[in-house]
Structure formats: C-alpha cells, structure tokens
Structure 1
Amino acid sequence: MGHLLKDLLAMGLALSLGMGAYSLPALAQDQTLKAARLAHEDGRYTEAIAILSRGLKARPHDAGMLRLRAEAYQYLGNLRQAEADLRTGLTASPADPNLLEGMGWLKLFQRDYVGAEAWLRRALDQDPEHAWARLNLAHALLLQARDAEAIALYCALLQTDIRETVGQSMSKDFARLRSQGISHPGFDTLPPKFTPVCGPGLIYPSECGFEPELPADR
C-alpha cells in the first residue's frame, strides 16, 4: 500500500504539472539555474559558481549550467576554467548555439578575434536569429578593424526584438572588454548612436541607411 500511495502521489504531481511535466530532478535543476542566474545578474559570480557547481554534480554536462558557470568564471578573470567548462559542454553538445556563442564571447576576452568570429559564425549556423551571437560577432569584426561590417551587423540588430537595448548591451560589453585592456575608438562613439532617446522613439544612426522610426501613437 505504501508503494501504491507513492505511485499515486507521483502520478498526481505529474498530472498537476501537465502532460509534458518535468521530472522532480529537472524541476530542481530549473530552480538551481534560476538561483544562479539571479546571483549572476547581481554580479555575485562566486556565489553563482557555487550554486552551479552543486547542480553540475548531478548533471555534469548540462549545457545551460556550464554556459552560465563559464561566464561567471570569465568575469572573475579565470579564463582557463571558463574555457574548460565550455569545452566540457561542447563535448556532449557540439551543436549547442549557446555554448558556441559562449566560446566566441570568451575568445574576445582572450584577444583571439579571428577565433571569436569563427565560433560565433558556428553559433549562427545553428541558430541564425541568436541575437547575442550576432552582437558578439559585430564586436569581433570591430576589433579586427572591419568597422563597416561590424556596423552593418549592429544596424541589422535594430530590426530585431532587441532593437531598444542594442546600445545598452554594447555599453556593457565594451566596459567588460575594457576591463581586460581591450579598446577601440568605437567603444565611445557607437553606443550613443544605438541607444533610444526618451520621447522621440528610436532614431536610427545615419550609418544604417534606415528611415527614422516614428513614435507609436498613444
């Protein structure tokens, strides 16, 4: 009877979660990733690493956790461990676009801009709409002095769902690259051009060749 009760309770839980219900380990994994993301977003990278390390004991090849832990290590300056995490994930999931994008982002920190471009193009082969891979590819081209190609990619992002945050994302990324001693004149001049101004709506940079976007009627 005890076993039957356990089975019924498990069945009831599954039904309450829906036909495509997560298993309990998967739910715990989601909670681990959520807690780690909150710590990561707050800049508590050491805490995020500790949370993810506990989760990875159960699922050592989990792509999402490895990608996030790699970036936490990266922001703490441990580029070797960051790369080790990404390569662990790619061994199990060689076509995962987030891991491929993560490796491209890491290569920028390692000043391997050609390598970064190659990894990011691989990510885009898997997911052509991957916004962060497209943004980081533009950074890689900019740092190879291929400014016109980079600006074309930045401009293309203004026609996507992240158009209103392109300038803000550029500023954050450029600040992180600067922290590694990496610089480019565009780090100062480009973000303001891609940042919406309050009131008139998003005005496209002249380099993009787009018509200004009119504010929506209210």
Structure 2
Amino acid sequence: MMEKREKESVGGAVVASPVALVGSREDNEMDASTRTAEILLRLVLMALCLSALIVMVKNSQSNIDLGSLSYSDLGAFRYLVHANGICAGYSLLSAVILALPRPSISRAWTFFFLDQILTYLILAAGAASTEVLYLAYEGDVSITWSAACGSFGRFCHRATASVIITFVVVVCYGVLSLLSSYKLFSNFEPPVGYTTKGIEDTVVHG
C-alpha cells in the first residue's frame, strides 16, 4: 500500500514517489518532443514560403506579338509574394524563439495570435491569386477578356505552381494554429464547478 502512494513523508518532509517522478519525466519528454516537432514544422513552412516566393518572383515571359508579362504586373501576385515573404520571416523567427528554453504564458499568447493572423494572411493571398489564375486560364466573355494563358502558357504554369505551394502553406499554418491554440489553452484549468452533466442530460433526454 505504501508503494502506491505518490508522495511519502520522510523526516517530516514530503518527497515525490518514484511513480510521480516517472510521470513527470515522461511529461517533460513529451513536451520536448512536441516542441521539436513544432520547430521543424515552422522551418518547413519557411522553406515552403521561400519556394513559393522564388517561383513567383522569377516568373516572367515575353511574347513577340503581345509583349512581356511579369508577376509584378498583377496586384494579386505581388500580394502573394509579400505574404509569403512575411510568413517566411515569421516562421524562422518563431522557430528560433521557440528553441529558447524559457516558455511563458505571454509567449504562448503571442504565438496564438500571430499564427492566426498569418494563417488568414496567406489564405487571402492564395485565394486572390487563384481568382486571377482562373481568369487567365478561362477569360471573361462578359467583359471581352480573352484567356491569357494561351499566349503565356509558361507564365501561367509557374504561377500555378507558386499558388499550389502557397495552399500547402495554408494547410500547414492551419495545423500550426491548432497546435498553438492547444498549447495555450491547456495551461488553463476548467472553471470551478464546471460539469458536463447538464449537457449530457440535454443530449440524452432532449
């Protein structure tokens, strides 16, 4: 019976039992592995953002009859480049900060808010660029806007590759946002007196 107790009294002092020490060590190892995975995810995000940025920045094509076309001629593509640049810088900076062994609640709140903001920022960039690509491939008959990709096929293919990478970034940032939300709110205890009994009764009898 004494071996099952999580705390033992030795000479009037309370000492943690081996069971408690093992549990604490396992929690620390889990936290360390989670932090390592998050750091790697942020570094992967940085690489993906830079890839999408570089593909789009180098995207230009000349046509003998129609002239030249560059990403800088389209506002949505410029926005995509800027958004990926911001996300790449933030991903690297947050990975470096996360590697510092001094977590705090204020840091958790900061990551939570910034991860949410950057997720919507890169999502908006991808959505705006997708709309421009659709018009470039399909045109718009109502305003006599012909499809540009028939004359600038290479430009459209590279822009499409950049947008696809950007949406991969969006998915990864969604995962990162969920992770930072969990890490933040797991620091708080449920409200005093909170119970799910009322909810369960409503579900069963309602």
TM-score (norm 2): 0.26
TM-score (norm 1): 0.25
Q: Which has the larger radius of gyration?
A: 2
Higher relative contact order (CA 8 A, sep 6+): 2
